[in-house]
Amino acid sequence: MSNHKYKRNKYKNLLILSIIWLLGALCDRIWFALDHSIPAWDQADYLTGTLNYWQALHNPQWWNQEWWHGFWLISSKIPPLTYIVTAIVQSIFGTGPDQATLVMLLFSAILLGSVYGLGKVLFSESVGLWAAALCQLLPAFYLLRLDFLLDYPLAAVVTLSFFCLTVWRGRRGGGEGGKGRGGERGNSQLLLHSDTPPLPPNPNASPLKSGDPPTRLAPPWEPQSPPSSLVWAVAFGLSLGLALMVKQTALLFLLTPIVWVGVGALRHRCWGQLVQLLGGLCLSVLVFGPWYRTNWLIILTSGKRATVDSAIAEGEAPLNTLQAWTYYWHQLPHQVSLPLLLVPIFALLLYWGRSGLKNKDGGTRGQGEFALPPFVSEASSLKWLTIFLVGAYLLSSLNINKDERYVLPYLPVVSVFLAYGLTRFSSLWGRRIRSCTIGLAAILMLFNLFPVGGVIGGWVTQTLSPQAQRYPYMKAELPHQQVISQIIQTEPYLRSTLGVLPSTVTMNQHNLNYYGALQNFQVYGRQVGTSKKYLNQDARSLSWFLTKTGKQGSVPEAQAAMIQIVEQSGDFQLNKSWNLPDGNLLKLYHRRTPTVEVKSVGKIGISPRIALSKVTVPEKALPGVPVPVTYEWSGSWDELQHGLVLLTWHRNSQQSRGEQPFSPTDSWVHDHGIAMGDLHPGAKQPEGTFQVIERMAMLPPAVASGTYTLEAMYLNRLSGETYPIPVPKVTVQIDSQANATPAPELDLVTQLETLGAHLSKGTEALSQIFEEIGRINQYDPIQDYLVQAQLTLEYRLQRISPYRDWAYALALANVLQQRVDGAIASLKQVTQLDSQNPYAHAYLAFVQLYNWQPAAAQKSLEPSLAKNPNLPEFKALSGVAALMQGNLVKAWQDLSVLIHKT
């Protein structure tokens, strides 16, 4: 073929592929333009993730290791590639659900290009083009393109990776390969038939007579000079790393073909190709490694909840039943539609029946730069697809938590198989049947996505493409944005947490949280009232609640009691209500006496320093019981927003402490961020002087007695500047005979410090500690209370006193923030202050193991094992440390004890 004709055909294929992509894009964008729906649970959660990365990328610090650590922590459970790419898209086109879904056009381009390339290298460019068209017409694809979920991006990148692996597999690689058994056979052509030697080329083979064009060309993105197999190995490694940065389940689809190729290379001693494959895998580790290394422990713990726990809650069939292994098989007709499933299969059976699986395409596949060798048969290509599909199906079925969208990544390969079947028609009638099938599929897609088919269209889609109908929601928009705006209007200077009590598809904590994030992250939505045990704490810890009449959605039994507390206790008042399209009423409640109030008091008398104008406490209070206290601060916005206050209540019999050691029997602390860290500047930095009123509770120790006065110090969390704050005359008498005074909930910093002190009790306290942490994390969605505790405790431990309970609390704050270096440093201090406690050393060893420091962890464990050599937790840590150091014998000795005990 002449170079001119080759280029002309290449650009023609590029044009056809672009038209296929453009038609799908137009259909999707018209649907989004008509749709006024609200994203559901997962969709809204993922959209919020994109905004988190969008915010982080505003001020990147590419050469700062701590910035990268925090960057990977933004999404600690779900790989962030889709979030990051969408954040970039929103930086260009603006934020919002419609703008975010523009990223699906990019992934569509990747998917179509990869499917086209896959079909071309395995069969012909005709198969590739038809496969790309099918990817636009399969119900599973066009439905998930309309949802902001990770499955469609995952399908695109997995297909790209499989395409790169296929091209690399079909090229000569690694020089002459191994010179062992097989000698010159050590090349990637051999891998196409890993179980048999390659066939010699057949120069007399006839062209494929199946309706395909007589020649195959390389895809339009191919360079003019053939790239080496090393380039494709690199491309495979990069694409595999990207796939694992979209979702961990990418491995379910790519593991089988990778293992197949690797075993084939070993079997035939293709050492050069094995090195290239291993090099590609190592390159993928460089791509996905930083995120997985940062979050590996959370991935393991959350993986169980996302799979096993979710499957049990949803009543999934156990793996020892046939239903578990046939679930996705039954979903296939719905995912593909009957015409696109049955017609290609019928055509393929007819084709096989007439000609059998013989090599019909001979030398027609040697024209493209990365086309497979001319002697590679259709049977080999079909075998390669079957390896991928069977492995993907079995591994996906092995996952106990099932949903039809979880197997979307194997459907592009299914589309290649179906396109191959469609192109087996060679006669005029066969081509007409193919065109009619594709036309019918396009009509079914339009009938499923838009209300244009009427009664007949509805009957046709239910018959031929069931469970695929999704019309745009064209009624009035739901009041999510109005709810967020009302909260901001009421409390313009505060970051608010909204307790969302219903949990329906249209009204839940995730989508309200998302619309709050769209407003400068000023309002966060959280589901509370889920446990009867914590109803009172939930009600006392939040100032805003949202309820609705009618169906409440997926909520626990305790939710009804929570609604009753909010609506009938008298602590809250109805702030505003909205009528919903379904006839129900949405109600927004606000606390009658807010925990924090912020007022602008003008620009007169702006002081560079914070002032404490008033402190209100009861005259007498009980020891060991929360005491109500109100602080009134004033100052400039910057000083207030970045301000931490170190408050120490001293017994009057002692002088000002200064540098004197802290005594828990003579003092207690009430450190926190001003306004509990909730000051929010909104869209514009406020100017002038502001007053902040905090209504809180503090916790004197149970052994305290006497009269106490307050000492205050300011600490700027950004600059580290400190200065003493003059305190108005105030005293409180702690007396065991005093009457109890009603108090609000303890602030989160005090709760954390109290929980941290219990760490010294060891494993018996850990479950309760982390249960409580999970609860209070709901009240502060950005966990700023951990930063407040960390900074104030670091200051006290360095400047005031090395107090054991502070060291434990600081360690807990560092661990919860995943500040590994800080956690190790604080736990080393704990082991010094509580050296006889074996749990202190075990905590340090655990964090060192988390940081991949097994030798240091083994050394840290020595005091723990010396005191309690048979404690299962210590044995487990010792076994893991030995395993990470390659000491398999010791690892087996330690871990086998645990196995026998269980």
Question: What are the pLDDT digits (tens) for 584-632?
Answer: 999 999 999 999 999 998 875 556 789 999 999 999 999 999 999 999 9
Residue 193: CB atoms within 10 A of its CB come to 18
Q: Which whole-number Å values give the CA distances from 617 to 343, 460, 599, 613, 698, in the listed order?
A: 81, 73, 22, 14, 10
Sheet of strand 523-526: strand arrangement: 523-526, 496-500, 544-548, 585-591, 572-579
Percent with pLDDT over 90 in the chain: 72
Alpha helices by DSSP H, listed for 491-592, are 509-518, 535-541, 558-568
Evaluate if residue 83 carries a pLDDT over 60. yes
Rounded mean pLDDT of the chain?
A: 87
DSSP state of 306: I
Give the helix/strand (H/E) hosting 667: strand 667-669
**Residue 292 burial (CB count, 10 A):** 15
pLDDT at res. 5: 62
CB 140 within 8 A of CB 405: yes
**Mean pLDDT of the region 87-100:** 96
Q: What whole-number distance in Å separates Cα of residue 107 and Cα of residue 86?
A: 11
Residue 887: pLDDT band with limits 50, 70, 90 = confident
- Residue 386: CB atoms within 10 A of its CB come to 12
Among the ranges given (472-476, 656-660, 860-864), the one the predictor scored with the smallest mean pLDDT: 656-660
Length in residues, the chain: 902
Q: Burial, 137: exposed, middle or buried (Cβ in 10 Å; 0-12, 13-18, 19+)? A: buried
**pTM for this predicted structure:** 0.89
Decide if pLDDT at 254 tops 60: yes
Min mean pLDDT across 10-19, 189-198, 253-262, 496-505 is at 189-198
- Please name the helix (run of DSSP H) or strand (run of DSSP E) that holds residue 621, with its range, or none: strand 620-621
**Per-residue pLDDT for 327 more than 50?**
yes
C-alpha of 602 from chain center: 44
Q: Which of 86-95, 357-366, 877-886 has the lowest mean pLDDT?
A: 357-366
Which of 2-6, 321-325, 574-578 has the highest mean predicted lDDT (pLDDT)? 574-578
- What average pLDDT score do residues 470-496 get? 95
Q: Supply the pLDDT for residue 353.
A: 81
pLDDT of the residue at 379: 87
- Look at residue 220 and tell me whether its pLDDT is greater than 90: no
**Which pair of structure tokens corresponds to residue 385?**
């697809």
Whose CA is closest to 328, among 421, 252, 437, 441? Answer: 252
pLDDT tens sequence across 411-454: 999 999 999 999 988 778 888 999 999 999 999 999 999 999 88
Of 296, 817, 866, which is closest to residue 858 (Cα–Cα)?
Answer: 866
Q: Quick one: which of 196, 164, 167 has its CA closest to 268?
A: 196
487: number of Cβ within 10 Å? 26
pLDDT at 179 over 60: no
Q: Which residue has the higher pLDDT, 367 or 303?
A: 303
Q: Measured in Å, how far apart are the chain's first and last C-alpha atoms?
A: 70
**Which pLDDT does position 893 carry in this prediction?**
84
Spatial separation of the C-alpha atoms in residues 112 and 412, rounded to whole Å: 9
The pair of structure tokens assigned to 709 is 């006065």
Q: How far is CA 533 from CA 427, 558, 853, in A?
A: 72, 9, 39
- Specify the 3-state DSSP secondary structure of 616: strand
pLDDT at 253 over 60: yes
Give the per-residue pLDDT at 356: 54
